[in-house]
Each structure stands twice: as structure tokens, then as C-alpha cells.
């Protein structure tokens, strides 16, 4: 009788564990499906509103036009100036964040002592937690006045100030992901370099960096995607003057800053200007989606290579 009770109790515990696992699986599956449903919902919402926009504006004019003035008469809906402004700021930001981020990652991975690493790495990653609006005001109040001292022709709102502040914002992403890539390199590769008589700098730049190049590229792509989607810092620093220019000292407008401008509430609901918001948002969405997917592909290739 005692053995029968013990078996029954164990059987009940086993059945309970099975139901718990099934419940956890259902909850986790629901979370995953919710994420997919939200993404699909965003795409459907953008496509529906873009349809109304392209009923009023021919798509060749939108995609290939070189003048963007949807809120003023006469209206022009050529999106190239704000795409160019977005790329200008993003490329300028990467020109700043890539060398600094890689230098920090190499220092933390190859040269810093454990105590130094434990102090510096959290401090650097704190940059990722600062709100972007704070960076925007920092650019407007500190960086731009400093630029005007060095380059008097600098405008109050300019692409260079926006590039600098976005570059600072993306440094933690490059340094953190690159540091993980460097630390995933087997110790035997470093020891082989030292055995050949290489110095620490030669091992870092000629062995570790080439071996982790896939992870480094992925971090750069993610940082570039982050720079493209940056909103408040660019809106405050770069201004709202859409133009095709190579001059970083002039005011420009990005796609995100235009979205902010239209979202202020002054644009009539249902107007072509209102629907232009969704057309620009759709371009921004698919650009960032492409770069995120590409970066994830590179990261998966990196994991396969070193595990």
C-alpha cells in the first residue's frame, strides 16, 4: 500500500511537471507570436497609409525628386534630400564611433587588467543609457559653440554637430560587441602569435582583429542602423533644412527629424502632408530592418565560426 501511494505521488508530480512545461511553452510561443504580430501590424499600417499617399503623389516624383517641401507652398515631395541628410549624419557618426569603439574594445580585451576592465567597461556602457534628448541639448549647447570657435562659418544647426553626438552615442555599441568578438577568439591563436615573436600590438592588430572581423563588421552595421534611426539628438542638432549638400557645417534634415516635425500636430489629419509621414517612416523602417537582418546574419556566421 505504501509503495502504491509512492508511485501515485511520483506519477502526479511527473504529470504536473509536464503541464508546467506545456504552459511555459505556450506562454513563450505567445510572446514570440506577439512580437511577429506587432511587426506585421506595423508593416500593414505603414502600407495602408502609404497607399493613400501614393494616390496623390506619383512614386517616381517621391523616390527620385531632389526637392523636399511637403509643408510649404508650392509643395515638393522628392525624398532624396532627407535620405541624403540621414546618410550624411550616419556616415559622419560612424567615422567617429568606429575608430574610438574599436580602440576601446581592443584596449579592454587585450591590454586592460581585470580590475581596469571592471571599472572602465560599465562606465563606457553608461553612455547607452543616457536619453537621446540629453545628447541633443549637449550638441546644441556645447558642441556647436565649440565648433563655431574653430569654424566660424558653422551654422547654429549643422550636420557636423549631429554626427559628433550620434557618434558618441554609438561608441558603446561598437565597443561592447567588438569586445565580445575579440574575447571569443581562442587563446591558442594569441599564443601562436607570441610564439612567432610578435609583440602585443602585432598580435592585437594582425591576429585578433582579422580573426574577429565578422563580429566587428556586425557591430559596425548595428551602429550604423542605430545612427539612421536616431531621432531627438539629430532633430535638435541638425535642424530642419532638407538639402543635398556635402557641407557638414550646414543645416540639414533627416527622415526622423521630419517625422518629429509632422508629429507636432500642426499638419491636418488625412492630408497628403500627413500621409507623407508614413511614406517616410516606411522607407526608414525597411532601411533599418535590412541592416538589422544583415547584422544578425553576420553575427550568426561569427558564432558558427568560433563555437
> Tens of pLDDT along 27-58?
999 998 998 899 899 889 889 888 888 888 88
pLDDT interval class at 70 (50, 70, 90): confident
**Predicted local confidence at residue 5, as pLDDT:** 55
d(CA 133, CA 221): 23
Tracing cell 563555437 back to the chain, one arrives at 307
* CA dihedral over 20, 24, 29, 34, signed as positive or negative: positive
Residue ranges of domains in the chain = 12-56, 68-302
- Which pLDDT value is given to residue 189? 85
pLDDT of 9 reads 63
Lowest mean pLDDT among 165-174, 206-215, 275-284: 206-215
Q: Alpha helix locations (H) across 151-229?
A: 159-183, 187-195, 200-203, 209-211, 213-229
Residues 195-239 have pLDDT tens digits of 888 888 888 888 888 888 888 888 898 889 889 988 888 988 888
pLDDT digits (tens, 9 = 90+) for 232-276: 889 888 888 888 888 899 999 999 988 888 877 677 777 888 888
pTM reported for the whole predicted model: 0.83
Give residue 307's pLDDT. Answer: 43
DSSP 11-52: HHHHHHHHHHHHHHHHHHHHHHHHHHHHHHHHHHHHHHHHHH
Residue in the structure block whose three cell numbers are 553576420 = 298
Architecture of domain 68-302: Orthogonal Bundle (1.10)
Residues 121-125, mean pLDDT to the nearest whole number: 84
Q: What is the pLDDT of residues 132-153, one digit of tens each?
A: 889 989 998 999 999 999 988 9
Contacts of residue 126, defined as CB under 8 A and 6 or more positions apart, other chains included, come to 172
Residue 99 pLDDT more than 80?
A: yes
Count of Cβ atoms closer than 10 Å to residue 17 Cβ = 10
List, as one string, the DSSP characters of 43-95: HHHHHHHHHHHHHHS-HHHHHH-S-EETTSSSPEE--HHHHHHHHHHHHHHHH
- pLDDT of 126 reads 83
pLDDT of residue 94: 93
Length of the chain in terms of residues written: 307
Mean pLDDT, all residues of the chain? 85
In this predicted structure, what is the pLDDT of residue 110? 86
- What angle (nearest 5°) sits at the alpha carbon of residue 270, between those of residues 268 and 272? 85
Amino acid at each position: 500500500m505504501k509503495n502504491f501511494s509512492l508511485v501515485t505521488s511520483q506519477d502526479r508530480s511527473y504529470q504536473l511537471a509536464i503541464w508546467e512545461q506545456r504552459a511555459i511553452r505556450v506562454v513563450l510561443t505567445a510572446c514570440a507570436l506577439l512580437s511577429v504580430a506587432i511587426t506585421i501590424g506595423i508593416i500593414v499600417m505603414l502600407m495602408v497609409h502609404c497607399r493613400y499617399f501614393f494616390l496623390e503623389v506619383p512614386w517616381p516624383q517621391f523616390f527620385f525628386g531632389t526637392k523636399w517641401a511637403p509643408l510649404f507652398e508650392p509643395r515638393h515631395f522628392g525624398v532624396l534630400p532627407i535620405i541624403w541628410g540621414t546618410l550624411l549624419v550616419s556616415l559622419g557618426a560612424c567615422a567617429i564611433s568606429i575608430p574610438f569603439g574599436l580602440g576601446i574594445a581592443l584596449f579592454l580585451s587585450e591590454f586592460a587588467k581585470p580590475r581596469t576592465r571592471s571599472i572602465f567597461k560599465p562606465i563606457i556602457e553608461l553612455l547607452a543609457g543616457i536619453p537621446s534628448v540629453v545628447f541633443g541639448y549637449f550638441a546644441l549647447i556645447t558642441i556647436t559653440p565649440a565648433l563655431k570657435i574653430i569654424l566660424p562659418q558653422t551654422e547654429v544647426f549643422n550636420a557636423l554637430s549631429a554626427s559628433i553626438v550620434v557618434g558618441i552615442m554609438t561608441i558603446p555599441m561598437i565597443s561592447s560587441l567588438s569586445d565580445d568578438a575579440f574575447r571569443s577568439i581562442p587563446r591558442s591563436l594569441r599564443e601562436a602569435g607570441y610564439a612567432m615573436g610578435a609583440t602585443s600590438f602585432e598580435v592585437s592588430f594582425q591576429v585578433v582583429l582579422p580573426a574577429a572581423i565578422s563580429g566587428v563588421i556586425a557591430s559596425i552595421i548595428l551602429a550604423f542602423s542605430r545612427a539612421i534611426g536616431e531621432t531627438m539628438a539629430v532633430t535638435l542638432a541638425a535642424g530642419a533644412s532638407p538639402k543635398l549638400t556635402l557641407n557638414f557645417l550646414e543645416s540639414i534634415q533627416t527622415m526622423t527629424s521630419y517625422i518629429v516635425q509632422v508629429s507636432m500636430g500642426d499638419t491636418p489629419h488625412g492630408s497628403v502632408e500627413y500621409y507623407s509621414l508614413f511614406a517616410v517612416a516606411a522607407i526608414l523602417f525597411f532601411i533599418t530592418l535590412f541592416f538589422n537582418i544583415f547584422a544578425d546574419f553576420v553575427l550568426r556566421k561569427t558564432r558558427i565560426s568560433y563555437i
